[in-house]
Amino acid sequence: MALFSFLLITFLFVSFNHAKVTLKTSSDLAVEISNDLVKFNFKSDSTISSLHVNEEDIVHGASRSFYLDWTGSDGEFRFSPSTVEIVEQTDTRAHFYWTQDSSRSNDALNIELHYILEDGLSGIYCYAKYFNDKSSNVSFGETRMVYRFNPNLLVIGTNQVHTGIIPTSTDINESKKVQDATYEFPNGTYYTKYDFVVYIRETQYQGVYGQGYGAFIISPSREYHGGGPMKQDLTVHDYALVTNYFLSGHFGASSFIAPPGWIHFYGPFLLHLPTGKSDNEIIASVENQVKAEQEKWPYKFVSDDEYPLERGSVKGTVTGQKSATITLFQSTINEVFDIQQMGYLYTTNTDASGNYIIDKVRPGSYKIYAYPIAGLASENLVENVVQVTANSVQTVDFNLPELENIVWSLGQANRRANEFRLADQPRNYKWQLDVPTELNFTIGKSDPKVDWYYSQSHAGTWSIHYTDKQDGKSRILRIAIAGASKSVLAVTLNGKALDELSLDNDASIYRSAMQSGKFHFKMYSIESSLVVNGENYIDLTVKSGAVMYDALSLQIHD
C-alpha cells in the first residue's frame, strides 16, 4: 500500500510538473515564460536575452533576436513597447502581449505583439495586430519578425524547397562582395540571402537546425501575408537568421499605405523548437507539427473580433483551360491582386477536372480571380466578387477560353519561366551568368527545355525562327514576361520594329529568381503584309537589364 501511494504521488507530481506553464512579468516590461521543455527570457524591449531548450541556450552568441521591425518614410523602426498585458495565465496556457503606442513617430502604428505558450509544446505561438488609429495614412515598405539563433549550433537552413549549410561570418568576411547581400567565395561559388527566397504561399515552414536542435516558423495558413499568389520572400540567411515577412516590396511587390482605421492580424504562427538525434528526425518533427497546426487552424486560443473562428468556403469549376490558379483576396481599396498588401488572401490551383475549393476563409466581401497555368492565353484574367459567410459554401465558376490557330508557341501561360533551361536549378546568383548573349531558336527543331533559357540576362539578341506562309491573314504575337530587371527590350518581326519596352525593375533576376518576378503581357497585331512565305524570324533584343519569358506564341487572326 505504501509503495502504491508513493507511485501515485510520484505520478501526480510528474503529471503536474509536465502541465505547469509559468509566466512572470516585471515593472520594466521584461517577461519570463516557460514550460517543462522551453524557457524564454524576454527583455523590456521585447527582444530576447536567452532561450533554453533542454537546458541549451539556442540564442547564445546571437546578436539582437526576436524583434519586429518595419521601414517607413523616415527610415527603419523597431517595435518599442510601452505596456505589457496578460490575457490568460493557467497551468496549461499563458498568453501575454506588449503594446506599442502609435504616437512615437509619424511612421508608427498601434501594434500588439502577442505570445502564447502551452504545456507540452516545444515552441511558442506569436501574432501581431496592427492598427492605424491615426487620422492620416501611414506608409511602410516592409514589416517582419526576425529571429536569430546560435550560429555555431544551428548551421543548416531550409524553407522546404532549398536546404543548405549557412555560411559563417568567417566565410562572408573572406569573400568578395558582388552586390547587396551577395558574395563570391575564393573557390568561385556564390552565396546570397536570396538563395533562400521561396514562394511563401507554397510552403508552410522555414528554419534553421543542427546538432540536435532546430528553430522553425510554421504558418498553417498564409492568409495574413501581403503579396499575391506568387509572392516571393526571404526566409533564412546568414548568422542563423529566420524571418517571417508579413509584407515587403521584394520581387516586384509594392510599398503599402495604411489608411486610417486599418487593422490587420499577422499570424498566428508557431515558432517550433524541435530536438532530435538526427537532422532527419528534426525535419520529420517539423512536418508532423505542420499537420497538427493545420488541423487546429484557426486557433481557438485567440479571442478577438478581428480573428473570426467561424469561417466559410468558396468552390467552383473552371472550364475552357481547366488548369488555373484561383485567388481570393479582401481589400477595401482598388489594389491589384498580385501585389495587394492591405487584406487577407487565399489561393489554390484547380484539379485535373477544373474544380477547386478554398476552405477556412474569413467572412467578408472578396474579389476572386482566375488565370491559366497552362495553355497559351496569357491575357486571360477573369474577375468576380463573392460574399463569404460563416459556415457556408459559395460557388463561383469561371471560363478561361483557350487559343486556336496557333502557328508556334514557346512555354506555358502560367506566369513563370519554369519550362525553360536552368529554371529548375536552386536559386543562385551564378545562373544569370550562364546564359548566352546571342541565341537562335528554330521552331520544330530546338527544344525549349534545352535551347531556350530561363532568363535573357545579357545585352544581345535572341531570335525565334519559324516557317509561315502568306495567306492574307494577320497574326497576333503574344509575349508574356515573367520577370524583368532594369530592362529595355526591343521586339522586331522580319526586321521591322514592333516595340521597344521599358520594363519596371522587379529586382528578380539579379537576386537569384529562377522563374518569375513581376508579370507583364504584350500583344501585337501583325499585318498580313509582314508575313512571308518560308522562314520568318522574331528578334528579341535586350538593350539593358534582363528579361524572363513566361510564354510566347504566334496566332493566325481570322
The domain locations on the chain are 19-296, 312-400, 406-557
pLDDT (mean) for 237-260? 90
Q: Compute CA 49 distance to the chain's CA centroid, rounded to the nearest angstrom.
A: 29
Please say if the pLDDT value at position 524 is more than 80. yes
Q: Which has the closest alpha carbon to 251: 427, 77, 73? A: 427
| Cell digits of residue 491 | 521586339
Average pLDDT for the chain = 94
Predicted pLDDT of residue 256: 86
Predicted pLDDT of residue 102: 86
Residue position matching grid coordinates 518533427: 285
Q: Where are the beta strands (DSSP E) in 107-154?
A: 110-118, 123-131, 138-148
pLDDT, tens digit (0-9, with 9 covering 90-100), for 407-465: 999 999 999 999 999 999 999 999 999 999 999 999 999 999 999 999 999 999 999 99
Rounded to 10 degrees, the C-alpha dihedral 204/485/143/383 comes to -70
Predicted pLDDT of residue 14: 38
Q: Residue 7: helix, strand or coil by DSSP?
A: helix
Distance, CA of 316 to CA of 128 (rounded, Å): 33
pLDDT (mean) for 181-207? 96
What CATH superfamily classification does 406-557 receive?
A: Galactose-binding domain-like (2.60.120.260)
CATH 2.70.98.10 applies to domain 19-296: yes
Tell me how long the chain is.
558
Q: Contact at 8 Å (CB) between 304 and 129?
A: yes
528 CB-near residues (< 8 Å, 6+ apart):
470, 471, 472, 473, 474, 475
Distance, CA of 303 to CA of 390 (rounded, Å): 16
Q: Contact at 8 Å (CB) between 270 and 123?
A: yes
The DSSP annotation for 303-323 comes to --TTS-SS-EEEEEEEEES--
Please say if the pLDDT value at position 42 is more than 70. yes
Q: Compute CA 58 distance to the chain's CA centroid, rounded to the nearest angstrom.
A: 26
Q: Return the bridge partners of 264, or none.
A: 130
The DSSP annotation for 424-466 comes to TSPP-GGGGGGS-SSEEEETTTS-HHHHSBS-B-SSEEEEEEE
* Confidence class for position 4, pLDDT limits 50, 70, 90: very low
Please say if the pLDDT value at position 309 is more than 60. yes
Please say if the pLDDT value at position 143 is more than 80. yes
| Cell digits of residue 315 | 468552390
285 CB-near residues (< 8 Å, 6+ apart):
214, 272, 274, 276
Of the listed ranges 102-106, 458-462, 526-530, the least confidently predicted one is 102-106
199 CB-near residues (< 8 Å, 6+ apart):
161, 230, 231, 232
Task: Classify 251 in phi/psi space as left (phi over 0), alpha (psi -120 to 50) or beta.
Answer: left
One-letter identity of residue 414: N
Q: What is the pTM of this model?
A: 0.93
Predicted pLDDT of residue 6: 43
Please say if the pLDDT value at position 20 is more than 60. yes
Percent residues over pLDDT 90 in the chain: 87
* Confidence class for position 73, pLDDT limits 50, 70, 90: confident
The DSSP annotation for 313-378 comes to EEEEEEEES--EEEEEE--SS---GGG--SS-EEEEE--TTSEEEEEEEPSEEEEEEEEESSSS-T
Asked if the peptide bond before residue 260 counts as cis, ω within 30 degrees of 0, the response is no
The one-character DSSP state at 285 is: H
Q: Which CATH number fits domain 312-400: 2.60.40.1120, 2.30.40.10, 3.40.630.30, 2.40.100.10?
A: 2.60.40.1120
With vertex at residue 167, the alpha carbon angle to CA 162 and CA 171, rounded to the nearest 5 degrees, is 150
Q: Contact at 8 Å (CB) between 545 and 488?
A: yes
| Cell digits of residue 228 | 499575391
Q: HSE on the CB side for 168, CA within 13 Å? A: 7
